[in-house]
């Protein structure tokens, strides 16, 4: 079996939390100097799972091959979907047919493969003729940029568990509080104090991809409530709604809405969409629809 293309991104993944907010890299280096990474690649028994975890005692962050593959595939597929949706709206079309867009079908085949195997916790070779991180086209370069921001946000979340001395064991309510605290740390680290709109857009899109992947994973696994984590859809909404002005959040909101709608269609989640509603309240409504969904 050929090795995962994620192996070639090891160094970039290790630097992702620092590179995602380079203006704070020196401070993060000082605070996180004792934290180490452990990558779970084949033949490790957890390589195929979706795993980002931190051990506050050993100060080790563990990252699996499957998680990186799913995040990269999502970072490729979601922008392709969003661009097609935006173009369709600009042309006055309320609906689109995926069969009319071969590039979308190709992107979502890769994404579906990565999501399915993560849920099954298995390893498979990267599909031949699929988009690949080492391709040199603009769409691939954009995917890798957004992937590294998404990874950076998740790694910052894991750093927070270590830096804030969270406990490995504890009651579910305490674990959920720690998860929200780690989300807050990661999101504020990337967004707080940033005034450049383009920078805010890129970082908020990376956060959106990370939290949308968590929501998609829960939908695919037919679970919405977890004993030790807040609902993924709650995390998506909080991290996109609480730290940005309406103007700066508009792109990330529209992006999240397009991706959520596609997943609602895939997983048969009933929702009502009012195209005259602003993006923020519209995202709120979709999140409420998902919390009411029964598998």
pLDDT for 16-29, tens place per residue?
Answer: 999 999 999 999 99
CB 279, CB 257: distance < 8 Å? yes
- pLDDT at position 109, please? 95
Q: What percent of the chain has pLDDT over 90?
A: 61
Among 134-143, 206-215, 236-245, 254-263, which stretch is predicted with the lowest mean pLDDT? 236-245
d(CA 277, CA 66) in angstroms, rounded, equals: 37
Per-residue pLDDT tens over the stretch 171-201: 878 899 999 999 999 999 999 999 998 999 9
Rounded CA-CA distance 241/25 in Å is 25
Position 39 confidence tier, pLDDT thresholds 50, 70, 90? very high
Query: Which burial class, exposed, middle or buried, applies to 39 when counting CB atoms under 10 A from its CB (0-12, 13-18, 19+)?
Result: middle
**What is the rounded distance in angstroms from the CA atom of residue 142 to the CA atom of residue 134?**
12
pLDDT, mean of residues 211-229: 83
Q: List, as own/partner pairs, every contact residues 60-64 make where C-beta atoms lie below 8 angstroms and the sequence separation is at least 24, other chains included.
A: 60/35, 60/36, 61/35, 61/36, 61/37, 61/155, 61/158, 61/159, 61/162, 62/37, 62/38, 63/13, 63/37, 63/38, 63/39, 63/155, 64/39, 64/40
Residue 137 in tokens: 């086209």
CA gap 146, 204 in Å, rounded:
10
The pLDDT-based confidence of 276 (bands split at 50, 70, 90) is: very low
């Amino acid at each position: 079996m050929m090795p995962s293309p994620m192996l070639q991104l090891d160094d970039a993944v290790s630097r992702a939390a620092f590179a995602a907010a380079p203006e704070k890299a020196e401070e993060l280096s000082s605070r996180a100097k004792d934290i180490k990474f452990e990558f779970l690649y084949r033949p490790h028994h957890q390589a195929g799972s979706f795993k980002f975890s931190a051990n506050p005692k050993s100060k080790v962050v563990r990252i699996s091959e499957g998680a990186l593959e799913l995040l990269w595939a999502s970072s490729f597929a979601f922008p392709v979907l969003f661009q097609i949706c935006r173009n369709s709206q600009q042309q006055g079309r309320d609906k689109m047919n995926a069969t009319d867009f071969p590039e979308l079908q190709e992107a979502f085949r890769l994404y579906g493969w990565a999501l399915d195997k993560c849920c099954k916790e298995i390893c498979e070779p990267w599909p031949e003729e699929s988009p690949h991180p080492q391709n040199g086209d603009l769409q691939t370069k954009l995917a890798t940029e957004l992937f590294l921001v998404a990874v950076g946000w998740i790694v910052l979340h894991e750093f927070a568990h270590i830096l804030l001395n969270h406990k490995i064991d504890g009651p579910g309510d305490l674990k959920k509080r720690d998860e929200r605290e780690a989300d807050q740390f990661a999101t504020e680290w990337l967004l707080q104090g940033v005034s450049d709109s383009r920078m805010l857009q890129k970082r908020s899109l990376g956060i959106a991809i990370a939290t949308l992947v968590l929501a998609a994973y829960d939908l695919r696994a037919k679970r919405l409530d977890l004993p030790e984590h807040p609902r993924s859809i709650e995390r998506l909404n909080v991290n996109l709604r609480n730290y940005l002005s309406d103007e700066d959040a508009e792109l990330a909101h529209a992006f999240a809405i397009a991706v959520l709608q596609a997943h609602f269609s895939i997983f048969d989640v009933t929702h009502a969409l009012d195209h005259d509603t602003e993006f923020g309240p519209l995202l709120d409504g979709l999140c409420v629809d998902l919390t009411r969904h029964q598998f």
